[in-house]
Amino acid sequence: MKGVVFLGDRKIELRDYPDPTPGPGEVVIEIKASGMCGSDLKFYRVAGGPAAFGFKVGSEPTIAGHEPCGVVAAVGPGVSEKQARVGQRVMQHHYRGCGVCPQCATGWMQLCDEGVAEVYGVTGHGAHARYLKCPARTLVPLPDELSFDAGAAIACGTGTAWGALQRLGLQGHHTLAVFGQGPVGLSATLLAAAMGARVIALDTSPERLARAREFGAAELINPKETNDVVGAIRALSHGRGAHLSLDASSSPEARAQAVRCVRTWGKACYVGEGDAVTLDVSNDLLRRQVTLIGSWTFSSVGQGECAQYVADRGLDLDRLFTHRWRLDQAEEAYRVFDQQTAGKGVIHPS
């Protein structure tokens, strides 16, 4: 089979790999949709690819793609039909831990007490290929109502937004400021609006702000068009500030604004990876009783709950995708995605 690899410096190759065979406790998924995530761009851009960030990779580059969705194609020895069956529609929770520690046992394999053994698409072969081999315990059923593209979105970006909203304790009467309207931020806007919240969407891209409006944002702010983002949010929330905020931009300035824009007793959640932020601890946090939360992806249980919520509410996640690509178009796909002005992209390896 062919697989997409990131070589760094915005270079991509389509390489040949043997079709995988499942071992004990494993399955092979035929990938129907492999989402493109903003975190892929750091591996795509940096010299050296994933290894440049300290990930332990083999002598050969691993196949990229950590938003897998498809159909079980083969099961290995010891896999019961309750775990997986050939033909089953599934997503995959793209981490493999020890499987037995308290974190793994509750579906948080990325927080494995023994250290994450594998991150699919980074340290282990991912979903930008026709087939993916993984432990059966990492599978999450895909509801029949959802497309494979929707499943790929939930397998990382949309699932990450769901996890953050759950940690924030979002309720229908809340005003939520969402910084960054890329795939994760836009998913947060869609989900929060569906839950009844009033969403203030922020982004520097007019195209992304327009999509946020389509996905349910009540108010839009372009930080390039105001000298006082925090003041603008307060003006839209009766002078008190948002109840909650979520930063999916990774911008240091936006992160500080996400804390400062919430009201007394408010909560701010950081989702975007990397970079740093500087805060005045006393004035920004302590003396306003503000809670600052870090949220990293989601559990396998949360992934399933998100998928069921989207299916039960009839939310159209397919609208997240503005570009769909074949495997042999991966180079062009990431060139377009690198501009970060469009919506989400997905690769269809099969």
Q: Domain range spanning residue 181?
A: 167-294
78: domain CATH number is 3.90.180.10
Beta bridge partners of 291: 267
Domain boundary among 276, 294, 312: 294
Q: Is 118 helix (H, G, I), strand (E, B) or coil?
A: strand
52 in any annotated domain = yes
pLDDT at 280: 97
Contact 229, 257 (CB under 8 A): yes
Do residues 207 and 305 both lie within one domain?
A: no
| Count of the separate structural domains present in the chain | 2
Do residues 103 and 120 both lie within one domain?
A: yes
- List alpha helices for 122-270, DSSP H: 148-154, 157-168, 183-194, 206-214, 229-235, 252-260
Do residues 152 and 39 both lie within one domain?
A: yes
Residue segments in the chain with a per-residue pLDDT below the cut of 50: none
pLDDT at 85: 97
105 in any annotated domain = yes
302 in any annotated domain = yes
Do residues 133 and 175 both lie within one domain?
A: no
Do residues 269 and 290 both lie within one domain?
A: yes
Q: Pick from 273, 120, 240, 106: which is nearest to 174 by CA? A: 240
Residues in contact with 300: Cβ distance below 8 Å, sequence separation at least 6, in sequence order: 93, 107, 109, 138, 140
Q: Which two structure tokens, joined as six digits, stand for 304?
A: 């399933």
Give the Cα separation of 152 and 32 in Å (integer): 9
- List alpha helices for the chain, DSSP H: 40-45, 102-105, 148-154, 157-168, 183-194, 206-214, 229-235, 252-260, 300-313, 330-337
Give the Cα separation of 34 and 148 in Å (integer): 9
161 in any annotated domain = no
Give the Cα separation of 221 and 232 in Å (integer): 8
209: domain CATH number is 3.40.50.720
Do residues 39 and 143 both lie within one domain?
A: yes
Do residues 220 and 80 both lie within one domain?
A: no
pLDDT at 200: 99
Do residues 10 and 151 both lie within one domain?
A: yes
Residues in contact with 332: Cβ distance below 8 Å, sequence separation at least 6, in sequence order: 325
pLDDT at 47: 83
Q: Which two structure tokens, joined as six digits, stand for 118?
A: 């594998």
316 in any annotated domain = yes
24 in any annotated domain = yes
162 in any annotated domain = no
Sign of CA dihedral 188, 107, 66, 316: negative
Domain boundary among 294, 319, 340: 294
pLDDT at 58: 63
Domain boundary among 294, 310, 330: 294
254 in any annotated domain = yes
One-letter amino acid at 131 equals: Y
Radius of gyration of the chain (CA): 20
Distances (CA, A) of 57 to 4, 119, 123, 156: 15, 10, 5, 21
Do residues 184 and 86 both lie within one domain?
A: no
Do residues 235 and 123 both lie within one domain?
A: no
Instruction: Report pLDDT digits (tens) over 198-208.
Output: 999 999 999 99
- Count how many Cα atoms sit within 13 Å of the Cα of residue 287 in the half-sphere of its side chain: 7
Do residues 54 and 116 both lie within one domain?
A: yes
pTM as predicted: 0.94
Do residues 141 and 206 both lie within one domain?
A: no
Instruction: Report pLDDT digits (tens) over 286-342.
Output: 999 999 999 999 999 999 999 999 999 999 999 999 999 999 999 999 999 998 777
